[in-house]
A = this chain, B = another copy of it.
Amino acid sequence: MDQLEIFKALSNKTRLQILHWLKEPERYFPPQEHEDINEVGVCVGQIQQKAGLNQSTISEYLSILQKAGLLKSTRIGQWTYYKRNKEAFLALSQFITEEI
């Protein structure tokens, strides 16, 4: 866990918003056409639409969040689904109370 990388990933309004949405995907997104939203997460296009930024920007943001370990991704057909990585948030929470 690279904490600095994680905090950089969290230092952006849109990325924080995305994480908030992905904490409760059913609440913020329509059911995914082909997959179970709770199983694989939400596809890039839906997140992009909701965020209202350029497609390339959102694709990169999701990649930043994933590289930091905060999201997990699954490619199914032409879609990439992103979902929250619970363990990372627990570890980060612990880091904050115990190390800094």
Task: Place the interface of chain A in its size category.
Answer: 20 to 34
A11 touches B16 (CB 8 A): no
The secondary-structure label for the interface of chain A is: helix
Determine whether A20 belongs to the interface, using a CB cutoff of 8 Å to chain B. Answer: yes
B20 touches A100 (CB 8 A): yes
Q: Kindly identify which residue among B7, B19, B97 contacts A10, using a CB–CB cutoff of 8 Å.
A: B7
A4-B16, A7-B10, A11-B8 given; A90·B97 CB < 8 A = yes
5 smallest beta-carbon distances between A and B, as pairs: A19-B100, A7-B10, A93-B93, A7-B11, A93-B96
CB pairs A–B below 8 angstroms (23 shown): A3-B16, A4-B11, A4-B12, A4-B13, A4-B16, A7-B10, A7-B11, A8-B11, A10-B10, A10-B11, A11-B11, A16-B100, A19-B100, A20-B99, A23-B99, A23-B100, A89-B96, A89-B97, A90-B97, A92-B96, A93-B93, A93-B97, A96-B96
